[in-house]
């Protein structure tokens, strides 16, 4: 048996949810021109995980991390978390084999047709799209099978144990909506912030004119506010500066005079603050209606259920890990040792 301290497992689970899930969803074979010398990354019971498998699920995320200038240590940790996912998959495969709950060919076919339909594609278009991302269709089918297998295992071994009490939902509603306003106005805002000050070594006098020039382009429809935000803003770049719907009472005091009286689609003047130069757009306005318990309850129930499911799944898979012989090789063994030392030091 290979025991694993709870602290180590917990830290791995958190890291998996942030980094490795992305790598798995973006899985693609390593570049063809790279010469890979294969080897064993880990032994799981009588099964092995190859280094090439770790390479495969880590390739795209590793490339992005290198482009972003992340360190070799961070990249190695990401690859080690990828290995943990593969170890977990081997353990789940053993459960599927023992319980005979594996997906049938018909279930896999139905799932693939459902994916194609949801995306407005024919089956052939889906096949071509998968191939364009460098994934052979048999490999794609294997991935779909694994997802169905995992869902069946979760339903039988984990979700069946989950119970959400009415008080859980009521407590979450009170925490989230208990102090919501009884009325008033909501405003959908977009915001561009260009930082200025000693920390960024840019003065307001130099920064605000640049934002003013961009404001002119937005007002004259040479560029959209969202595109300008993606280019210039230090906040919410990916969403084009979208702050979403805010209650008027929750809007920062310095913003209120700038947007007061603006109609839907109007752009504010450039506003100087001690942290930079700002530009706002009023996307829309509407009256605020408090959220009722019956409206929020289904979503809150699902949120609690999903959280409890994840917690129970972690306990369940960690128990299976404790019952499985696991030996990591090479650098992955060293990473495992260091994680254990860190856990003991906490």
pLDDT one-digit tens code per residue, 147-172: 898 888 888 888 888 999 999 999 99
Longest distance between any two alpha carbons in the chain, whole Å: 70
Domains and CATH numbers, the chain: 6-163+302-345 (1.10.4030.10), 181-287 (3.10.50.40)
Buried-exposed string 137-152: b where 16+ CB fall within 10 A, e elsewhere: eeebbeebbbebbbeb
- What is the per-residue pLDDT across 199-209, written as a single tens digit (0 to 9) for each? 888 899 989 99
On whether the CB atoms of residues 193 and 232 are closer than 8 A, the answer is no
| Residue 25: pLDDT band with limits 50, 70, 90 | very low
With both helix axes pointing from N to C terminus, report the angle between 123-132 and 105-118 in degrees, rounded to the nearest 10.
90
In this prediction, residue 341 carries a pLDDT of: 77
The pLDDT value given to residue 4: 42
Q: Which one-letter DSSP state was computed for residue 267? A: B
The helix (H) or strand (E) run that includes residue 170 is helix 166-177
Could you read off the pLDDT of 34-55 as tens digits, one per residue?
333 469 999 999 999 999 999 9
The total of other beta-carbon atoms located within 10 Å of residue 334's CB is 13
The DSSP call for residue 250 is: G
Q: What is the mean pLDDT of the chain?
A: 86
Report how far apart, in Å, the C-alpha atoms of 272 and of each of 23, 86, 203, 227, 277 are: 41, 51, 11, 21, 5
Place of tokens 């803003």: 233
Q: CA nearest 236: which of 286, 284, 189? A: 189
By the 10 Å C-beta count (0-12 exposed, 13-18 middle, 19+ buried), 68 is classed as: exposed
The CA distance from 94 to 77, in Å, is: 26
CA distance 210 to 203: 11
Q: Give the DSSP H/E element, type plus range, for residue 271.
A: strand 271-273
pLDDT digits (tens, 9 = 90+) for 79-101: 999 999 999 989 988 888 888 88
pLDDT digits (tens, 9 = 90+) for 183-225: 899 999 999 999 998 788 889 998 999 999 999 999 999 999 9
């Amino acid at each position: 048996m290979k025991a694993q301290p709870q602290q180590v497992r917990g830290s791995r689970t958190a890291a998996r949810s942030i980094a490795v899930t992305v790598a798995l969803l973006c899985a693609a074979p390593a570049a063809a021109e790279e010469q890979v010398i294969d080897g064993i990354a880990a032994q799981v019971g009588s099964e092995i995980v190859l280094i090439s498998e770790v390479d495969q699920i880590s390739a795209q995320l590793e490339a992005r991390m290198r482009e972003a200038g992340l360190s070799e240590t961070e990249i190695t940790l990401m690859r080690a978390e990828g290995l943990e996912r593969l170890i977990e998959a081997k353990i789940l495969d053993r459960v599927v084999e023992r319980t005979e709950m594996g997906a049938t060919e018909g279930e896999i076919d139905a799932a693939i047709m459902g994916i194609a339909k949801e995306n407005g594609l024919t089956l052939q278009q889906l096949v071509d799209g998968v191939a364009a991302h460098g994934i052979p269709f048999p490999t794609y089918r294997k991935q779909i099978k694994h997802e169905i297998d995992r869902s069946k295992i979760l339903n039988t071994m984990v979700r069946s144990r989950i119970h959400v009490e009415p008080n859980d939902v009521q407590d979450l509603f009170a925490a989230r909506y208990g102090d919501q306003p009884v009325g008033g106005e909501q405003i959908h805002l977009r915001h561009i912030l260009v930082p200025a000050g000693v920390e960024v070594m840019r003065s307001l006098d130099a920064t605000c004119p640049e934002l003013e020039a961009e404001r002119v382009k937005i007002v004259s429809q040479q560029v959209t506010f969202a595109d300008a935000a993606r280019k210039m803003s230090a906040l919410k770049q990916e969403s084009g500066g979208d702050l979403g719907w805010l209650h008027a009472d929750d809007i920062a005091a310095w913003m209120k005079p700038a947007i007061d009286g603006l109609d839907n689609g109007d752009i504010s003047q450039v506003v100087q603050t001690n942290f930079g130069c700002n530009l706002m757009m009023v996307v829309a306005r509407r009256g605020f209606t408090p959220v009722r318990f019956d409206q929020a309850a289904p979503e809150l129930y699902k949120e609690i259920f999903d959280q409890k499911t994840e917690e129970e799944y972690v306990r369940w898979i960690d128990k299976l890990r404790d019952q499985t012989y696991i030996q990591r090789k090479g650098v992955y063994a060293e990473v495992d040792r260091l994680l254990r030392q860190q856990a003991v030091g906490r």
